[in-house]
Amino acid sequence: MARLGTIERPARKTHPLSTPPGIGGRDLLSLHDLTPKEVEFLLNLGRLVKGHPDRYAHALEGRELALLFEKPSLRTRVTFEFAMTEAGGKCITLGPQEVGLGKREAVKDVALNLSRWVDVVMARVFSHESLKEFAEHASIPVINGLSDFEHPCQALGDYMTLLEHKDHLAGLTLAFVGDGNNVAHSLIYGATQLGVRIRVATPIGHEPSAAVVAEAKFEGGDVYLTDDPAEAVADADAVYTDVWTSMGQEAEAEARALVFRPYQVNSALMNKARPDAVFMHCLPARRGQEVTDDVIDSVHSIVYDQAENRLHIEKAILLSLLS
């Protein structure tokens, strides 16, 4: 798989910030688009805007964000809307009824139209290929709010949260248990950029993309794949899981539940991690499936910190893209 490209574009308006330049004018389709320094910059900016929100209350005045949804959303919609408006910008939300990428209207035409009206687009889509096509034709930055291949904003918020709880990232061990999906791909890329060891436990046939793993290892990432969840979790600093059936896979739910049942994160599995290990989940969670109540509701769970930090990291992304 070739590295996903980014398109350099001048912003339509200028609004200097009190922060150094980050990833201004570019797309954020994949964490692999960013350098380690750029990832660290975003994490630090996310923590800064979280601690000093008033400092950025007018930073995006005169800027407009379009949120484009093919999939339902709670966290992505709420956090991006508030991230933009709390920084002084404006936001419009478009669902599948208004847009219909590639159905009601060609992807290219949607991109060209929105480029005339707004300064940045966040798209939450089924197909990563349609997202890349959209970005190819847009003359404004495009943010991946979730695709079938990656979920970069989620992973950035996750690593910001882990940094808050552990005070450092390099040298930590993150265990991901479940489906080698879009979240797993972004976590693997992020782990490589931040010096985090990542162990991924999946049923055979449900591993993360071999190309993603190969790229991460080529770039020095410490990535280990196994089909044994206990092996992955042993002495881990953080244990992460996600739903067994992603949106668009509903017809497979019953079969997947049988395959993934041994990969449930319960107290017995968590006890194999370090005593101070944290539990992580991107949400929504299917309680009683991939995670039990006693784990997600425990003092070790930081899932709602992850959800909160989506707001702050997305504000950092918008500030950086539009600076």
Q: Which residues contact 178 (CB under 8 A, 6 or more apart)?
A: 184, 201, 202, 241, 242, 243, 244, 260, 263, 290
Would you put residue 180 in left (φ > 0), alpha (ψ -120 to 50) or beta? Answer: beta
Count other Cβ atoms within 10 Å, centred on residue 135: 25
> Do 239 and 273 meet the contact criterion of CB atoms below 8 Å apart?
yes
Distance CA(286)–CA(179), nearest Å, equals 14
- Is 91 marked active-site? no
Neighbours of 250 (CB within 10 A): 10
Please tell me the distance from the alpha carbon of residue 46 to that of residue 28, in angstroms, as a whole number. Answer: 16
Active site residue 77: no
How many Å apart are CA 307 and CA 195, to the nearest integer? 23
Q: Give Dmax over CA atoms of the chain in angstroms.
A: 54
Query: Of these residues, 63, 75, 124, 185, which one is catalytic?
Result: 124
Q: Which entry of 26, 281, 282, 312 is annotated as an active-site residue?
A: 282
Name the CA radius of gyration of the chain, rounded.
19
Tokens of residue 270, six digits: 């968590």
Three-state secondary structure call for residue 222: coil
Known catalytic residue: 154?
A: yes
Q: Which of 185, 199, 310, 312 is catalytic?
A: 310
Which residue in the list 26, 33, 148, 154 is annotated as catalytic? Answer: 154
Active site residue 153: no
Q: In what order do the strands lie in the sheet with 223-226?
A: 223-226, 197-201, 173-177, 238-241, 278-281
**Among residues 151, 185, 256, 300, which one is catalytic?**
151
Cα separation, 68 vs 228, in Å, equals 38
**CA atoms within a 13 Å half-sphere pointing along the CA-CB vector of 268:** 5
Question: Among residues 242, 264, 281, 312, which one is catalytic?
Answer: 242
Q: What is the distance, to the nearest Å, from the Cα of residue 315 to the centroid of all Cα atoms in its chain?
A: 14
Write out the catalytic residue numbers.
Answer: 124, 151, 154, 242, 282, 310
